Structure 1
């Protein structure tokens, strides 16, 4: 992930107790990096990308869960969300070579050169793991901001209902008209896109090319992992696919930046 994480906890707990909560969050983030960092040659995912085309490879429970969810939503998003787009000689059928065994919790790549990249998903998954930690410590009010692109808001700010997220410019929120901010209450805001016309990093599964232009797209959902899937899918989708996905999944707040 290699991203800054801002944590706000609003609680009557002692400072020592809250520091323990933060330390627990840091531990889980380090674990996720070791598990699913595509760019770390020593991560579990990197090792799988190197060997899963030779023989089935046993997965940790968390990596199995991540890959299984991504394959499920590849189907549900009309192929717009595809974690194999960085594979060698990629085609829209490459993802079909990823074979998961629920019984053995293994993965096998039927096609050599297939790789899985979870970079467009991992921060949202991390938000859900952080949510579990906060619930285990009975933290009722918190804001977690990962790199200004993946935000988890739980409960309320000390001075009002929900948590205000300011975009710095007027936006069309879809459900509230136009404003320069959103109020999140037990919700996640996830953003995908290009920071500039030069910094392109998302590949369209339909064209196998980088999506051009300086634009971003954000969605509000109740689950960070699913939110990452939707923001990425909607960003790479064409207009017809985007409209269909918004309607199919009842996405009430979709923001074009």
Structure 2
């Protein structure tokens, strides 16, 4: 869900092109994929090699988008949604396993995380135009097609079946984190010793900068954008942020985040941002999204189950 918070994390690495005495260069390129800006940074022997591998990472991200995008009509996930309530759809094992993990995330959070929220009826508007709360009936009806319990998986035939007509699944919450992880995995397999795949704030790092310095990622203060709460130093790691301070509705003196509780249809309240760091961007984003929905107390209880992941939680003022 950090697609909404691309400005939350601030890179402190050195420039777009930096060459050291041992003939390593650091090259950074920006491109648009999955409806968001990706920054891809690699450490290579020269800029030609770096550009080649940045393109390799871009191709991998494009490959993933062509599997899981709910907006591109030819993708396997789009077909799953098209046949909701009609028949199962066979998918690649990669898509099947990503969906299986997403269902596990739902089970871990008792539904606070749910990829079937893609079918949510949009009764909330977060562009500043809302003046009144939606009616209770409208909110209740908005989640009628949401429910991970109705996503049926057949591991023998690798099929996905949405049991209710009108259901949809989508990976806006963890898809870019997954792409960042897969981009890192690919470039490591090609021998790139260090880099960052940053998917608008869902990022995966490995190795180090030229000169063997760890990657530095600053977590900005949502109430003081020019200040940082903390600087994270990463080798092999990932960071993801979810939050409300860039996209929200303020009604009757209360702030409602764009992050919706899949069970109730109400926006999350109480937390302004959650930044999670650990090994996987996909998993970190699952946690950051879930903690936003669960709130501070329940969110910290969830986090305690995963000792390798840490969170920076900022409460509403």
TM-score by length of 2: 0.71
> Where does 1:1-257 land on structure 2 (aligned, <5 Å)?
1-12=34-45, 14-87=46-119, 89=141, 90=143, 94-147=147-200, 149-169=201-221, 179-194=229-244, 195-198=246-249, 200-212=257-269, 215-250=272-307, 252-257=309-314
Q: Secondary structure at the match of 2:262?
A: coil
Deviation at 1:130, TM superposition (A): 0.6
Deviation at 1:160, TM superposition (A): 4.7
Uncovered stretches (5+) of structure 1, i.e. residues with no partner: 172-177
The farther-off stretch of 212-221 and 132-141 is 212-221
Deviation at 1:122, TM superposition (A): 0.4
Uncovered stretches (5+) of structure 2, i.e. residues with no partner: 1-33, 121-140, 250-255
Q: Distance in 2 between matches of 1:168 and 1:246?
A: 21
What's the RMSD between the two structures over aligned residues? 2.5
Q: Please tell me whether the aligned partners of residues 117 and 146 of structure 2 are also in contact (alpha carbons under 8 angstroms).
A: no
Q: Distance in 2 between matches of 1:60 and 1:101?
A: 12
When the two structures are aligned, how many residues end up with a matched partner? 249
Deviation at 1:251, TM superposition (A): 5.3
Q: Please tell me whether the aligned partners of residues 91 and 160 of structure 2 are also in contact (alpha carbons under 8 angstroms).
A: yes
Q: Please tell me whether the aligned partners of residues 39 and 197 of structure 2 are also in contact (alpha carbons under 8 angstroms).
A: yes
Deviation at 1:152, TM superposition (A): 1.2
Q: Distance in 2 between matches of 1:28 and 1:93?
A: 30
TM-score by length of 1: 0.87
Deviation at 1:101, TM superposition (A): 0.4
Which 4+ stretches in 1 moved above 6 angstroms?
none
